[in-house]
Structure 1
C-alpha cells in the first residue's frame, strides 16, 4: 500500500487522542495504533524477528502503565508519551554524543556522516527506539515500528515524541522494575546478537585509508615489531579500483 493510501486510514488532521492498544508477545508488552483500521493496514514488522508476534494479540489482564496520544497532521503521525518529571532517556539508535539522550533530537535517516560530531542527528544505522528510566528506577522501552524517516524528539521535559509518515504502530516494553528487564523483553521481540568469534574481541586497526597493499603490510609488521597485539586491519574503499569493484584489491584481482 502506498504511503498516501495508508494515511487514509487515519483522519487527515485530528485533535490529540489516546491510541488504542492490545497486549502482544508476553506480559508487559503492548502494541498501540491510531485505530483498528490503522492496525489492519500496517506494514509487516521488520523489527520483530517474527513479524506475526507483533500482529497477534495474547490473552492478558494487564493494561499499559503509559498510553501515548497521537495526532495526524499533513500526512504525519505524531505520537507522544508523557512521563514523570525527572525521567531520563537513552537509546535512539546509532548516534553521536553522550549515552543519555535527554534533551536531544534525532532523525532515523541513514546518512554517510563522515566527520560527524556531537551535533550530528543522523548516522549510519536507524533504530527508532527509546529507553525511558523513571526517577524511581523503573523503566519502559518504546519502539516506533516504522522504516520511514522518523523524528525522535526528546527536547521537552519527560516527553518522548515520534513524528513519521502515517500510519505506524508503536510497541512498549514495560513498565518493568529495571532497564535490564526492559532489554530482556525487547530481546524476545527483536532477537539477540550472535556470540562473536574470539578474534573479533581483540584490537582492530581502522582508519581512512591505506593507498597500497605495501602500506598495509608495513602497518602489520610495525605492530609485530613493537609487540602490540592486533587481530584485524580494516581497509576503506581505497583498496577498490575506480569502479569500486570488490573483485580487486589495490588494482589486483582478488583471490
Structure 2
C-alpha cells in the first residue's frame, strides 16, 4: 500500500516543471502566482536574466534535479536578452521548450524568438487560465502563436528579409510534401493545435499528430513552431 508521502511525491513528480525568467521581481511574482493556480504545474527555477537562466539550468542538470519542461522567457533583459537565451537553451537542451513573453510593441522581438527556437509567444497581459493552458500545450509539443500577431508579424518579417533565394528553397521543400501534409502545414501556420487540425480535417487527433511528426522529419525541423516560421518565410 502506498504511503501518503509516496503518493504526494508521485503527484509532485507528475507536474510539469516550469521556469520563469524576467528581470522584474514583481513580474516574476505575478507569473508565479498564476502558474501555481494550476495543480498540474510546478515552478522549479527562476532567473532575472538570460545568462542566469542558462547557469541555473546547467546547475540543476549537474545536481540531477528536474529541468524545466517549459520556460516563460521575457524578451528584453540585461546581461543576456530572451532571444539569445532562447537560442542557447533550445540548442543545448532540446527537451526544454520556451514561451516568449512580449508586449504589443515588441512584435518583431517575438518573431526573433520564434526563429531562435521558441515554441510560441504570449502577451504579458495574459490571464492565468490562458497562461496555464499555453504551458500545457507547449509541454505537449504544440505551438502557441497568439492569433493577433501570428500572420502580421511573420508576414512583415518575411517581407523585410527580402531573402528570395531562401524563400524559393523553402517552397521547393514544401512541394516535396503530400497535398495533405501541406494542408496541415497551413493550419499549423495559422496557430491551430493538433485537436483543432483534426476537427478541421475530420480525422482523429492522433492522425493529425502523426502528420505533424512526419512533416518535421521530412523538413528536418525541431518543432511545429518552426513549421509556421518556414511556411511564412516561403511566402505560402
* TM-score of the superposed pair, with normalisation by structure 2: 0.27
* TM-score of the superposed pair, with normalisation by structure 1: 0.25
Structure with more helix by fraction: 2
Greater relative contact order: 1 or 2 (C-alpha under 8 angstroms, separation 6 or more)? Answer: 1
Structure with more strand by fraction: 1
